[in-house]
Structure 1
């Protein structure tokens, strides 16, 4: 099982995918960036400026591939928070807690932020 993300309105380059293992790391980065929250878990590092906000997306949308719709506004927020967290070295600090975090994690997160940015003008995307 994995996660496939597809623009809401079709366009070139409209897909992105991660397997379950990869998505687990991306979810933790989204949580720490304040981009997604919920499901009873909270941030570990609690970095000022990355607190969950009104725009924070419900983590439920990223826990299954059940055709959830992430709106363009939500996607833009996810992208901006992931990029901010990466620029503050929060992602690398967080990944140091995981013994099994591969070197590619930061690239997966960057790629997911890029996909979220590209999906904004297409009314977001579906999680499948």
Structure 2
């Protein structure tokens, strides 16, 4: 996979846009980092949910995922772009976007009464 292909996947998601992070190309959702390209042009920094997820990915696919001391202890993982496959890249981007995208407004904010339930009518004949 190339950065261009990676970006094409990310840009299909709502509110995702290209930007920069630390002077390198990045994908962001409403200004929040999803992923960025490292200076070498073949490594991508991916946001993950937890350090446990980071460690799982590294153990499961050490040919794809790795870490440098700089990223230890942070919910980020490095990936070799040429070894990253489309389904995994899509999953990373969707998960990262889900973590940073604005959440839906609650029922009380939308003007509905808290605890109110909708009345459902049966479609079965009597």
TM-score by shorter chain over 0.5: no
The structure having more radius of gyration, on CA atoms, is 2
Per the normalisation by structure 1, the TM-score is 0.29
Per the normalisation by structure 2, the TM-score is 0.29
Identify, as 1 or 2, the structure richer in helix: 1
Larger relative CO (CA 8 A, sep 6+): 1 or 2? 1
